[in-house]
């Protein structure tokens, strides 16, 4: 069974998904960070594929991506690192990146490498759902790789339902119409947005992201979804404290 399927079948609430950029702060930190996150109680890891032109990332994640690229991180290296850490760690791991990266690597080659490395799912924000259905969906289903699509407060009901249907991992609920990294509290408009989603009786598990940064915001988000995603704040922690602060950070959220 796919690790994501197992996670969401066994745990229905307070799921903690941690995002960080592969190859940051140092090239060979990826495996050590994954191992420490798993040991510290994270439920799911979203591993960013460093990219020179990200669309949805704030300055914090953009900076970490730039540093990772300067460190020499490439997709081949990323796959090798995950393959190695899979010898000791069984936590679900997803790759987050952009479709141009997949196309440049070669779609079939990329998906085969995901299988061989032990990647459970993908988040590709700029992948059109129609293209996915026609060209990609069957390739992933054959390989038991799960997919996540994102919805925002501006997404139409029709597209939300389509994203829900196609999201075989979970539905990524973007908490606001902005780039990642903002840390304001949940607003009335967001509450209305969450209520709107709830009324739609969607079927995929849901995780809320963008702006989740501490226990308070995590707990708030978990009232409206199966869990939440912390990215920029974790990147800031790595930049500030390195790997030494990971355990305490996760414990402070959980």
**Peptide linkage before 108 cis (omega within 30 of 0):** no
Q: Which residue has the tokens 């990524």?
A: 172
**Rounded CA gap, 198 and 10, in Å?**
21
**Distance, CA of 101 to CA of 97 (rounded, Å):** 7
* Residue 184 Cα distances to 48, 93, 175, 228, 246, angstroms: 23, 28, 11, 15, 23
84 is catalytic: no
Q: From the candidates 57, 120, 164, 233, which is the catalytic residue? A: 57
Of residues 185, 190, 252, the one with CA closest to residue 16: 252
Distance from C-alpha of 252 to C-alpha of 214, rounded to nearest angstrom:
8
Q: Which residue in 46, 120, 164, 233 is the catalytic one?
A: 46
Active-site residue flag, 157: no
Q: Are the beta carbons of 132 and 102 closer than 8 angstroms?
A: no
Catalytically active residues are: 46, 57
């Amino acid at each position: 069974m796919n690790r994501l399927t197992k996670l969401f079948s066994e745990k229905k609430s307070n799921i903690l998904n941690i995002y960080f950029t592969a190859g940051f702060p140092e090239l060979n930190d990826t495996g050590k960070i994954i191992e420490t996150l798993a040991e510290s109680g994270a439920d799911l890891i979203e591993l960013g594929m460093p990219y020179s032109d990200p669309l949805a990332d704030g300055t914090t994640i953009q900076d970490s991506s730039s540093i990772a690229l300067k460190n020499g991180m490439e997709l081949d290296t990323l796959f090798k690192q995950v393959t190695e850490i899979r010898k000791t760690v069984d936590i679900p791991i997803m790759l987050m990146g952009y479709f141009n990266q997949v196309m440049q690597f070669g779609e079939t080659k990329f998906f085969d490498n995901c299988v061989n490395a032990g990647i459970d799912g993908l988040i590709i924000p700029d992948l059109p759902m129609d293209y996915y259905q026609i060209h990609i969906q069957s390739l992933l289903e054959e390989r038991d790789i799960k997919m996540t699509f994102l919805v925002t407060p501006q997404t139409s009901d029709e597209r939300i339902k389509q994203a829900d249907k196609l999201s075989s991992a979970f539905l990524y609920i973007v908490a606001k119409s902005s780039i990642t990294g903002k840390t304001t509290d949940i607003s009335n408009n967001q509450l209305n947005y969450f209520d709107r989603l709830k009324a739609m009786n969607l079927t995929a598990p849901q995780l809320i992201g963008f702006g989740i940064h501490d226990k308070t915001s995590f707990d708030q988000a978990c009232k409206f979804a199966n869990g939440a995603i912390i990215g920029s704040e974790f990147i800031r922690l790595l930049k500030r404290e390195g790997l030494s602060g990971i355990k305490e950070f996760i414990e402070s959220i959980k």
